[in-house]
Amino acid sequence: MILEAKHISFRYGTDSRQILNDFSLKLTCEERVGLIAPSGSGKTTFCKILAGYEKPDEGEVLLDGRPLSEYKGYCPVQMIWQHPEQVVNPRLCMKEVLAEGDHLEQRIAEGLGIETDWLNRYPAELSGGELQRFCIARALGERTRFVLADEISTMLDLITQSQIWSFLIQEVEKRGIGLLAVSHSTPLLKQVCTRVEDLE
Partner 1 sequence: MRRMNGRQKTALLFGAAVIFLVLVTIAGQVLSEAAMATDFSRKDRPPCPEYLFGTDWMGRDMFVRTLTGLSMSIRIGLLAAGVSSLLALFLGIVSATMGRAVDSLVTWVIDLVMGIPHILLLILISYACGKGFKGVVIGVSLTHWTSLARLIRGEVLQLKEASYIKAAGKLGLSPWQIAWKHMVPHLFPQFLVGLILLFPHAILHEASITFLGFGLSPEQPAVGVILSESMQYLAMGKWWLALFPGLLLVLTVALFDVAGESLRKLLDPGSAHV
Partner 2 sequence: MDKKKVILEIKNLSISFQQYDKGFGRTELDVIRDLNVTVHEGEMVAVVGSSGSGKSLLAHGILGILPYNGVIGGTILYDGGELTRKRKEQLRGNEIVLVPQSVAFLDPLMKIGPQIRKGKKDPESKEKLNRIFESYHLKQEVQELYPFELSGGMNRRVLVSTAMMGNPRLVIADEPTPGLHMKMVRRVMSHFRELADRGAGVLLITHDLEQALEVADRVAVFYAGTTVEDADVSDFAREETLRHPYSRALWRALPQNGFQFIGGTQPYVKDLPEGCPFGPRCEQFCEACRGEIPYRELRGGKVRCLCAE
> Residue 188's binding partner, choosing from partner 2, partner 1, none, with beta-carbon cut-off 5 to 8 A by kind?
partner 2
Span from 66-74, 99-107, 173-181, 186-194 in contact with partner 2 (CB under 8 A): 186-194
DSSP secondary structure, 26-60, as one string: EEETT-EEEEE--TTSSHHHHHHHHTTSS--SEEE
HSE of 87 in the Cβ direction (CA atoms, 13 Å)?
A: 24
Looking at the chain, the number of H-run helices and the number of E-run strands are 6, 9
**96 or 157, CB closer to partner 1?**
96
- Phi then psi dihedrals of residue 136, to 5 deg: -70, -45
**73 or 187, CB closer to partner 2?**
187
Span from 2-10, 24-32, 53-61, 153-161 in contact with partner 2 (CB under 8 A): 153-161
Q: What is the smallest separation between the CB atom of 195 and partner 1, expressed in angstroms?
A: 26
Q: How long is the chain?
A: 200
Task: Identify residues 123-152 at the interface with partner 2 (CB under 8 A).
Answer: 125-131, 133
Residue 45 in contact with partner 2, rule: CB under 8 A? no
What are residue 148's DSSP bridge partners?
Answer: 79, 180
Among 45, 78, 144, 160, binds partner 2 (CB under 8 A): 160
